Amino acid sequence: MIKSKFIIYIILSLFLSCRTDPNEQIDEGKIENEVYHSPEIGWTMKIPKGWNVTHRNVLDKRNKIGLDAINESVDADYDINGLKQLLNLQKDQFNGFQSSSEPFELEYEGEWEENNAALKELVYGTYLHKGIKTDSTETKIVEIDELKFHKYQFTIYDPKGNVILNQLMYSRLINGLDFGININYNNESDKNELLKAWKNSKFKK
């Protein structure tokens, strides 16, 4: 069975602004002076102005919706018990940033790469099962602060063929953790703000 990770973020749900301590909304790491740091990943990222930390209630709801959709599409029973919510941001319903980590114990060389490719196909298949027209790009290797990440994109269309959402996916195995980033956007301005913050991330070498 494919090992789970941040695929539960693929299904849209309404986002809410965080009105409480943002550190209460994350499972690992700390936010201080608008900067997030994860000791487990060794990752630091500055939060762009105008973006709110996603509330825990929204994360839980989104997790359930996404997981139910995936299990229905493949008639399986995946769970996300080991998944940790890291930095999750949103501006509105269609523009947001999600990050998560999950333990990934390698049983053989190349297993993570195989799993990552299978997850991409699972996401694509889930969209099709839901009757959602979707395109995906090829997987490329890109560098963020000199670390190599697998990157691909989904484009989501409405029934008339108009683009309603783009999803950029970044992932890599780091410190024994399957680390995933998902950037959702429907306009270039919000895309560029999130990409600038993400690409300026720093990782402990």
The answer, yes or no, to whether residue 15 has pLDDT greater than 90, is no
pLDDT band at residue 195, thresholds of 50, 70 and 90? very high
Q: What percent of the chain has pLDDT over 90?
A: 58
Residue 1 belongs to a domain: no
Please answer whether residues 119 and 100 qualify as being in contact, where contact means their C-beta atoms are separated by less than 8 angstroms: no
Residue 88 belongs to a domain: yes
The answer, yes or no, to whether residue 180 has pLDDT greater than 60, is yes
What is the helix (H) or strand (E) element at residue 192, kind and residue range?
A: helix 188-199
The answer, yes or no, to whether residue 1 has pLDDT greater than 90, is no
Distance CA 190, CA 180 (A): 19
Instruction: Give the residue, 114 or 17, on which the prediction is more confident.
Output: 114
Residue 97 belongs to a domain: yes
Q: What is the DSSP string of 89-152?
A: EESSSS-EEEEEEEE---SSTTHHHHHHHHHHHHHHHHHHHTT--EEEPPPEEEEETTEEEEEE
Instruction: Give the residue, 198 or 3, on which the prediction is more confident.
Output: 198
Q: What percent of the chain has pLDDT over 70?
A: 77
Q: Extract long-range pairs of 148-153: CB within 8 Å, 24+ residues apart.
A: 148/172, 149/181, 150/113, 150/116, 152/120
Residue 182 belongs to a domain: yes
Specify the CATH number for the domain of residue 153: 3.40.1000.10
CA distances, 110 to each of 60, 107, 114, 181 (Å) = 31, 9, 6, 21
Residue 95 belongs to a domain: yes
Name the token pair of 72: 């229905």
pTM: 0.82
Taking every pair of Cα atoms in the chain, the longest distance, rounded to a whole number of angstroms, is: 47
pLDDT for position 123: 84
Residue 186 belongs to a domain: yes
pLDDT for position 61: 60
Please answer whether residues 21 and 133 qualify as being in contact, where contact means their C-beta atoms are separated by less than 8 angstroms: no
Q: Which residues contact 195 (CB under 8 A, 6 or more apart)?
A: 168, 183
Q: How many distinct structural domains can be found in the chain?
A: 1
Please answer whether residues 88 and 25 qualify as being in contact, where contact means their C-beta atoms are separated by less than 8 angstroms: yes
Name the token pair of 64: 């359930």
Give first-to-last CA distance, the chain, whole Å: 32
The answer, yes or no, to whether residue 122 has pLDDT greater than 80, is yes
- pLDDT tens, position by position, 131-157: 889 999 999 999 999 999 999 999 999
The answer, yes or no, to whether residue 196 has pLDDT greater than 60, is yes
Instruction: List the one residue out of 192, 199, 180, 168 whose CA is nearest residue 3.
Output: 180
Q: What range does the domain containing 127 cover? A: 6-203
- pLDDT tens, position by position, 83-113: 888 999 988 888 999 999 999 999 999 999 9
The answer, yes or no, to whether residue 6 has pLDDT greater than 50, is no
pLDDT band at residue 38, thresholds of 50, 70 and 90? very high
> How high is the mean pLDDT of the chain?
83
